[in-house]
Chains A and B, each alone.
Chain A
């Protein structure tokens, strides 16, 4: 026994190193899964509140840009209002006998921390469980897509940004509705990649790519980016398309968390399909 202690004591430096590394790896294993139902450690109240007070200071510097974005969005909404339309034909009256039911609700939130330089990037928002945020909800900005909620604490939530190696968004080209997948392959935070578009589709630079609405979380038609470069992959008859994101992930300030009110029902039908 004494031999053992002497041995441990002699090489204590190495054993302490191993012990601390084991702690670190336990932390990695427990906290770095991509989509989990548990609360993310990072979204806890302490770091959240420090980021919050840091943000309160820097908010003022962004006021101008934020105002501009909000005004632009208001203008867009005004333009979509019924009052902005004039009936141009009075000969035919069509009775639109449709009733609407709301599918998506939007919660506004503020970005209090974010990253763009890593291979897997996250954001933290100042809304959490108590404000109705749950895992897997979509997050969009006034000008485009942002990411998916992957951890919730009482007053904060963590968002897996589109700039993440595990992120795949089903998207379509706006002008012809062909479906593809948007991923981020690292590098610049301004460019992503659109995969799986067959090579017979006619595309051109500047085409808009939007969400398809086939996912349970993102509404249809959220802008993602524009085509900036494309070429045909040799061998598999699909394009390799680079897109420029509309959202500037470095300047994100105010975003919306989207709640799909039909999600449970849609999930149930998915379950039926898989049986």
Chain B
């Protein structure tokens, strides 16, 4: 049990640092920003209480905001997906039963399930974040394009991250 807390706390810190020190520097062609820190919210175990998901989404968003001059925007977007997560999980129920100690990851539930899950969550996050950042519908389609492209990019990064750091059972 301790192990779960420790693993998630370490992931929390590492993902924020990875986000602000490395990934914020690789935006490609001006609109590709992967936001991999939301992987933290994606991978919280199934039995995490709802309120804890919201509070920790708030904290992880706030942590990234502190560093990237976007006070409140990452926070708003990640609290929003923290709110959506239980609903999305119900919506895309897996054929496998959720067992005690499972996490919503590739290792436990397979790649196709995880892709569905992460694309929905990442898309929701990016829509909120990018429109908050621009704060107008003035450049609606340009922003929408950035949302789509960045979503693809973020999901790719998250999947690669999963394969890199998780051993097969």
Contact = CB atoms under 8 A, between A and B. Distances in A.
Q: Do the two chains belong together in a single complex?
A: yes
Interface of A: 12-14, 16-17, 20-21, 23-32, 40-42, 46-47, 50-51, 54, 113, 115-120, 122, 124, 158, 165, 186-189
B66 interface: yes
Given A17-B83, A115-B24, A42 B29 contact: no
14 contacts: A13-B54, A20-B57, A20-B75, A21-B79, A24-B58, A24-B76, A27-B65, A115-B24, A115-B69, A117-B33, A119-B143, A120-B133, A186-B139, A187-B30
A185 to B, nearest CB: 8
Interface of B: 21, 24, 27-33, 50-51, 54-55, 57-58, 61, 65-73, 75-76, 79-80, 82-83, 86, 132-134, 139, 142-143
B133 A47 contact: no
A41 B76 CA distance: 17
Contact of A116 (B27, B58, B76): B27
B105 to A, nearest CB: 23
A13 B142 CA distance: 34
Contacts, number: 102
Q: Please classify the interface of chain B as helix (H, G, I), strand (E, B), loop, or mixed, using the class held by over half of its residues.
A: helix
Nearest to B28: A117
Contacts of A29: 72
A32 B57 CA distance: 21
Given A17-B54, A117-B33, A25 B133 contact: no
A31 B71 contact: yes
B21 A25 contact: no
A24 B75 contact: yes
Nearest to A118: B133
A117 B30 contact: yes
Nearest to B71: A31
Nearest to B75: A24
Given A20-B79, A117-B32, A186-B30, A27 B58 contact: no
Contacts of A54: 21
Given A16-B54, A42-B69, A116 B133 contact: no
A112 to B, nearest CB: 11
A118 B50 CA distance: 32
Nearest to B84: A17
A158 B70 CA distance: 12
B63 to A, nearest CB: 10
Nearest to B51: A16
A51 B33 CA distance: 19
A30 B71 CA distance: 8
B71 A119 contact: no
B30 A26 contact: no
Given A20-B79, A115-B24, A25 B69 contact: no
